[in-house]
Structure 1
Amino acid sequence: MSKRFVSIGECMIEMSGGEDRQYRLGYAGDTLNTAWYMRALLEPDWSVDYFTALGEDRYSADIRAFLEQHRIGTKHIGTIKNRRPGLYLIHQEGGDRHFTYWRDQSAARLLAEDKGALHVALEGASMVYFSGITLAILQPRARGRLLGAVVVAREAGATVVFDTNLRPALWTSQRVMASMLTAAASLCDIVLPTHGDEAPVFGDRSVEETAERYLELGVGEVVVKDGGNPALVATATERVKVAPPPAGSVVDATGAGDSFNGAYLSARLAGKGLQEAAEAAHRVAGIVIGQKGALVDPALLS
């Protein structure tokens, strides 16, 4: 069996900090963050590839170099003329983080334009990962192309994983968002929703209701995250609730859910059971929230 993980989505330029109007440039994005933690936690014989689209500008080149430096494959990243990476700025206000985005001309919005390249990128993958944000930034027909490629990969033997990652501001309406995410989840083997995001949209009164809704779609394994509360891992025959360890100081919660996903999935690929995988996921997320930025030094995770 091939050992290849492919993550699909948008890598953005991140400007963080903001003290005295001084910002630090980095790179992040939900699906990139998860790929980062998969690369850090999987055995070396696994390959981790990132599928997106970038431009021809210096920052696109820098992103490619950054990924390659950290052993994340860039072979299938598309190049879109006259487009650039999206950008977001994090600033602190009232004790909380606020995000401002510039992504209208993001090259990643066109990542699914070339149907052939999309299918080639997923060929031979043993696990394919994407998110609700991946779908949200695409035009409707491109969403169809992406989901079609995901179905082909699944039929060829890939495990397909979906983090619903609801971002209402990226969608034309809540109805479109809910229906699209539900349709996508029905094509997947593992779904990783966050209860606090799902409840206002779907009316879930508990993590159990969130899990059951996805199980009824035919999803084989559902991991419901719930912030600092216990996560629920559910299959058709098993329910496991796993509480996080006692929390230390929270420095920056950016990327916590994405790191949880990466740690959970890498543990499952290593043959760990539901309980042990969720425990590993909580442990890694706990480390990440104690550091600045979405991508922490892999040496801190061992």
Structure 2
Amino acid sequence: MAGRLLAIGECMVELMQAEGGLMRKSFAGDTFNTAYYARQFLPADWSVEYLSAVGKDMISDEMLAFMEGHGIGTDHVARIDGRSPGLYMIHLKDGERSFSYWRSVSAAKLLARDGDRLRAAIEASDIIVFSGITLAILPAEDVETLLAELRRAKAAGKRVVFDPNIRPRLWDDADRMRAAITEGARAATLVMPSLDDEVTHFGDAGLDETVARYRALGVDGLVVKDGAEGATLVFAENRDHVPSARVEKIVDTTSAGDSFNGGFLARLATGASPTQAARFAADVAAAVIQHHGALVAKDKLPNG
């Protein structure tokens, strides 16, 4: 059955290490990465769209061409004078990554400024994906604009997917961060948090407390990712655990969670059970972390 997945957020210029001390340029960002991996595994009758904003400069032209070249629609990406995409650099140590960011004039901060455009894009979609980073980069009034439209989508029976993806340095206040993450989850039907983020920033004692907190917000489905320990799935009254896939050598953990999300949503959208979808998503994430960068070519991924 045909459908449409819409991801909302910020795509950035990515600089990663290459041979001989050089840097390699690409484009990535949490919700865009999820869209990219969903596109790899969704059938051709599903469309994948991105909603964001970029500038009118050359690097913005390159970013849009990159999206379209990978099968991701850009009709809902606004062009804004005087702005440009943000940029980040990946630093690696023993396969674990850290980042440096330059995003002060990021056009994506204005992605929710046009409420009519936002509503039209969401109403035309079956699955809507957003994240805590999406909320973190927006002005407070635009956060409410976005959440209001997502609440409408949830009430209309659409699948609204939220990855809290907590990044405290993007927020000016920890209490505001927690409040926005909570409201983001309340607007969603499916929440896909990382357990270590929830323990660190919400003070959860462990998995059960994270599950109880999100279920109390009216979330229909919950996928709690716990790195090498796998993922816990809670849908209605059913609870299951899916182990992570075995990896001999971790090269780069960038986009591990995003690729899991994309693989999971693609399988779920096409009729798999949550457990089946999570097993496939674990294989996707395992393949991704054995290569450099956020976006790994399809020929290096599991057969979809």
TM-score range, shorter chain: over 0.9
* Greater Cα offset, 167-176 or 144-153: 144-153
Is the contact between residue 2 and residue 126 of structure 1 (CA under 8 Å) also seen in structure 2? Answer: no
> What is the match of residue 292 of structure 2?
292
Matched to 1:36, the amino acid is Y
* Greater Cα offset, 63-72 or 88-97: 88-97
- Equivalenced residues, count: 302
Matches within 5 A, 1:1-302: 3-17=3-17, 20-92=20-92, 96-301=96-301, 302=303
Is the contact between residue 215 and residue 236 of structure 1 (CA under 8 Å) also seen in structure 2? Answer: no
Structure 1 residue 227: Cα displacement: 0.7
Secondary structure at the counterpart of residue 74 of structure 1? strand
Is the contact between residue 8 and residue 51 of structure 1 (CA under 8 Å) also seen in structure 2? Answer: yes
In 2: Cα distance, 1:111 partner to 1:34 partner: 18
Deviant stretches of 4+, over 3 Å:
18-21, 92-96
Is the contact between residue 6 and residue 51 of structure 2 (CA under 8 Å) also seen in structure 1? Answer: yes
Secondary structure at the counterpart of residue 52 of structure 1? strand
Is the contact between residue 185 and residue 214 of structure 1 (CA under 8 Å) also seen in structure 2? Answer: yes
* Greater Cα offset, 227-236 or 80-89: 227-236
* Deviations, residues 219-249 of structure 1 (Å, cap 9, x unaligned): 0100000010021001230110111122221
In 2: Cα distance, 1:96 partner to 1:286 partner: 14
Secondary structure at the counterpart of residue 199 of structure 2? helix
Summarize the Cα distance change of 1:93–1:227 in structure 2 as closer, same or farther, 3 Å threshold. Answer: closer
Structure 1 residue 265: Cα displacement: 1.0
Structure 1 residue 144: Cα displacement: 0.5
Secondary structure at the counterpart of residue 43 of structure 2? coil
Give the gaps of 5 or more residues in structure 2: none
Is the contact between residue 95 and residue 253 of structure 2 (CA under 8 Å) also seen in structure 1? Answer: no
In 1: Cα distance, 2:98 partner to 2:217 partner: 34
Is the contact between residue 95 and residue 251 of structure 2 (CA under 8 Å) also seen in structure 1? Answer: no
In 2: Cα distance, 1:226 partner to 1:241 partner: 11
User: CA RMSD, aligned part only?
Assistant: 1.5
